């Protein structure tokens, strides 16, 4: 069963200054890469890893216990696209699956834009900026993400077109 990632500690949706927009339980504060964002939830910062997808890495120093790495094919494009989907300061609704955090302490979530309810994880895969990454037991949208990736591959979209080995 899916639940809100911050079930009891979230601010109520509201429309006043400094409050969350209707339908949101978090505000986007940073896009780290194509599948990792920072949000503010009830006055505290949280790092969020989008469940079920994997975008190519961008070049970055070590963070969250991870080693430094170089840019992978389509990594910068994936980061840019996620930033287009999730403007800084925009409201999002986070939903978790079974496991709430990864080994790095990041919240694991399905991310929905508050403005239109779009499932951001799906949009990133559908437009060819990510591949599916299923880690049980967080499998709620596995079939949806796999189908979206197959269509993106078939249509030669995004990383499927740019990163094929010849």
Q: What is the CATH number of the domain that holds 143?
A: 2.40.50.90
165 domain-assigned: no
Cα–Cα distance between 35 and 142 in angstroms, integer? 16
One pLDDT digit (tens) per residue for the chain, 166 residues: 344 333 333 333 333 445 677 788 999 999 999 999 999 999 999 999 999 999 998 866 665 665 666 677 778 898 999 999 999 999 999 999 999 999 999 999 999 999 999 999 999 999 999 999 999 999 999 999 999 999 999 999 988 888 877 5
Segments forming the whole domain that contains residue 39: 3-159
166 domain-assigned: no
85 domain-assigned: yes
The count of structural domains within the chain is 1
Q: Are 161 and 73 in contact (CB under 8 A)?
A: no
Predicted pLDDT at 66 = 56
Largest CA distance in the chain: 54
Start-end of H helices in 1-141: 75-85, 120-126
Cα–Cα distance between 80 and 17 in angstroms, integer? 28
Task: Name the pTM for this structure.
Answer: 0.82
* Active-site residue set: 49, 57, 106
How many CA atoms, within 13 angstroms, populate the side-chain half-sphere of residue 106?
A: 20
């Amino acid at each position: 069963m899916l639940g809100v990632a911050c079930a009891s500690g979230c601010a109520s949706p509201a429309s006043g200054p400094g409050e969350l927009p209707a339908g949101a339980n978090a505000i986007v504060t940073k896009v780290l890469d194509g599948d990792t964002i920072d949000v503010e939830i009830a006055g505290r910062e949280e790092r969020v890893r989008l469940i079920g997808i994997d975008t190519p890495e961008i070049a970055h120093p070590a963070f969250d216990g991870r080693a430094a790495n170089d840019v992978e094919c389509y990594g910068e494009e994936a980061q840019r696209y996620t930033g287009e989907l999730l403007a800084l300061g925009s409201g999002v609704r986070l939903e978790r699956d079974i496991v709430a955090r990864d080994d790095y302490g990041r919240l694991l979530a399905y991310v929905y834009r508050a403005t239109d309810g779009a499932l951001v994880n799906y949009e990133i895969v559908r437009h060819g900026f990510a591949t599916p990454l299923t880690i049980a037991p967080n499998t709620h949208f596995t079939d949806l993400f796999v189908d979206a990736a197959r269509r993106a591959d078939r249509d030669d979209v995004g990383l499927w077109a740019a990163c094929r080995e010849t």
